Structures are given as structure tokens and as C-alpha cells.
Amino acid sequence: MKRKNKKSQSKFYHKKFHKSSTTLHGGSEHSLNAMDEKESKMYLVSSGPERNRKTLIGCILFILILLIIASSIGFVIFSKFLDQRVITLKSSKSTSSSHSNSVGSSITNLTISSSTAESPWLITKAENYLPILMYHNVQPNTPDGNFVSPENFESVLQALQSSEIYTVSSDEASKVLSTNTKPAQKLIWLTFDDGTQNFYDYVFPLLKKYNMHATSFIITNNVVNNVPGFMTAAEIKEIASTGLVDFQSHTVNHADLSVASDNRQTAELRDSKAYLDSLLNQKTHVICYPSGSHNPNTSVIASGLGYDLGLLDPGRTYDGLTAKNVAAKTSDGLFTLNRYRTFTNTTGKVVIDMISADEAYNVLNTLN
């Protein structure tokens, strides 16, 4: 309607102007001045709405530009917010060196990145549960409860694979237990005590087959002295070079830390760490207490030497504390972490059933 009015006004103006030109040639000066006045009035009549329209369009354009700028700023801020919720996980299986770096115990030490990683880390509402399986020996003709057949161990890896459960490294375990972050997948930490030869013979080939990670706890004097039945330094280095296994401390002599003096504890923890740090060019940070043995000073000494996690032996009692057969969690104390004991008959189905409540808790605990 407005557009139509404008068009007719314009036509009218054109007609009048034409008429005034005719008058100029044949009419009086008075009539010319009169026409000028008329034209001028006419111009004013037509230019008022024109100017208003231009002002209105200008205002609309200005508001549109403001809206575009505001929404762009909003999008950038929202993107930054999302980025902070996605913390990249450097794949534990890519390089051996990925396990050589120690993990900060504070969330501020984490690298926050927006790049899309294979395994994004998510923020969680409260502490995470980390199921830790405790193994000793995997080999055929299993003589007692501490021995698991390679078939049963493989059934566990198959079950973890089909249930899409991620096997964390010790570095990742530290992050999961000391921050409210976790990899997006369900989690488990496979741990092997004592560094026996059958780890190299049976466990390592299966970890390679399924591309899964485990941690082996080494009694360092057995390596130094080439004690038969235990892995050699060359074997440990070979395994570590794949990035599938990281090696942590089980003390120098499999010492009973619960009765050892502070000096003896310090030597066991310090020297085993120094050996592994040097052999594997890493910062050893997990102590698995031999038979779960520890006393009130153990965690203080370990922490002072650079350890950040201490693992118990389920069912054993030390320092008035009986280690439970449950998942590890921060509130239990980072130097008194529980583990699930495995037995000769621990198959994949047994493991999945055992940790199902922990995984359900973690799913509800994740902020999505």
C-alpha cells in the first residue's frame, strides 16, 4: 500500500514539473515563481516520507548487523564453553612415550582442546568408579587361585572388546581417580603383580591381539638379578615399546611395607622407582604394595617420592583396613585403592557381571 502511494506521488511530481517547464517558455515570471514555490512544496511533501523510509531501512539494517554481531559473539562463547567439556585423550595405544609422562593431580594440569579425538574425555558430576582387576599369573595348567588359564584370560579380553570397555593406562587411571573427568567409554584397569615370565609369554601376545592396555608391577631386584621365572630388562623394554603396557613399582624386594622402618620403606619405594624411571625413561608413579602391605607412613613416604596412587590387595587387612573387592574411587584415598581379585575361573562373563554396577554408576555420573 505504501509502495503504491509512493509511486503515484512520484508520477504526480513528474507531471507538475513538466507543466512548469512549459510555463517557463510561454508564461510570466510570477507564474514561474509560483510554480517554483509549488514545486518546492511538492518536493517537501514527497521527500518527508522518503527520508523516513530511508531512516527506517537504515535502522533495520543497523539492528540486523547488531543481531549478527551479537549472535556471532554468543556462538563463540558457547563454543568455548563446549570446548571446556571436551578434553582430549591422547590415545594410550599410539606411542610408548605417551605413558612416560606423569599426570598432574589437579584438573588445572589437564590439556583442554577442542580437537576431535578418538576418545574424548567428559566431565563428571562426582568422583568416578574405576574397576581394577588384579592378576598374578596367566598360564596353562593353573595350579592355584592366583593362576588363570590363557583361555579364560582371553575370554575376558573378548568380553571387554564386545562390551566396548576401554582399558586404561596408569596415567589415565591417575586422571580418572584424581579429577572429575573420564574417557567417554566404559573403563577398566588391568593390573598384573610381580612381573612373572608368563606375562611376556601369554598376556603380552593377547594384549597385542586385542590392542588392549595393562599395567605390570615389577619387583625390580628380580630384573636386576635376572631371577628365573621373572621378565628380563630386555623383555620389559620390548613390551613397553609397544605402548600397550606400562610398568610400575612393586618395590625392590617384594618387601612387607607394613613392618618395614621408614628408612627401609623409603629405599624400597625410591630405588624401585629410580630403576624403572631409568630403564624406561619415565616417571614411575604407582606403587602396588606387595601383598597389599602398608602402614600409616607408607602413603606419606610414597607421595613425597613422586607416587600418586597406591594399590591394595583385596581381602587382606593392614593398618586396620581390610581391602574390599570393589571398584577404586577417590574417596577411598588415592593410596588405598581397592581392586577386584581374579581367580582361576574368572571368565569374561564373570568380569562383565562384576563391574556392571560400576559402569552403570559412571554412565549416570557423566555430564552429557
* Contact footprint for Zn ion (CB under 5 A): 193-194, 290
Please, what is the minimum distance in Å from the beta carbon of residue 83 to Zn ion? 43
Q: Tell me whether residue 122 or residue 236 sits nearer to Zn ion (CB atom).
A: 236
Q: Tell me whether residue 235 or residue 256 sits nearer to Zn ion (CB atom).
A: 256
Q: Which three cell numbers stand for residue 9?
A: 506521488
Q: Tell me whether residue 127 or residue 194 sits nearer to Zn ion (CB atom).
A: 194
d(CA 344, CA 357): 23
Residue 181 and residue 348 in contact, taking contact as beta carbons nearer than 8 Å: no
Q: What type of residue sits at position 231? A: M
Region of 106 please: left (phi>0), alpha (psi -120 to 50) or beta. beta
Q: Tell me whether residue 194 or residue 308 sits nearer to Zn ion (CB atom).
A: 194
Q: Tell me whether residue 127 or residue 313 sits nearer to Zn ion (CB atom).
A: 313
Residue nearest to Zn ion (CB): 193
Please, what is the minimum distance in Å from the beta carbon of residue 171 to Zn ion? 22
Map residue 228 onto helix, strand or coil.
Answer: coil
Please, what is the minimum distance in Å from the beta carbon of residue 191 to Zn ion? 11
Q: Tell me whether residue 194 or residue 332 sits nearer to Zn ion (CB atom).
A: 194
Please, what is the minimum distance in Å from the beta carbon of residue 195 to Zn ion? 9
Residue (of 179, 305, 284) closest to 297 by Cα position? 305
Query: CB burial class (10 A; 0-12, 13-18, 19+) of residue 100?
Result: middle
The CA-CA-CA angle for residues 216, 221, 224, to 5°, reads: 95
Please, what is the minimum distance in Å from the beta carbon of residue 305 to Zn ion? 19
Which ranges of 225-295 does DSSP label H, i.e. alpha helix? 233-241, 262-280
Handedness of CA 292, 249, 119, 199 (dihedral sign): negative
Q: Tell me whether residue 195 or residue 243 sits nearer to Zn ion (CB atom).
A: 195
Q: How many CB atoms lie within 10 A of CB 3?
A: 7
Please, what is the minimum distance in Å from the beta carbon of residue 174 to Zn ion? 21
Please, what is the minimum distance in Å from the beta carbon of residue 146 to Zn ion? 9
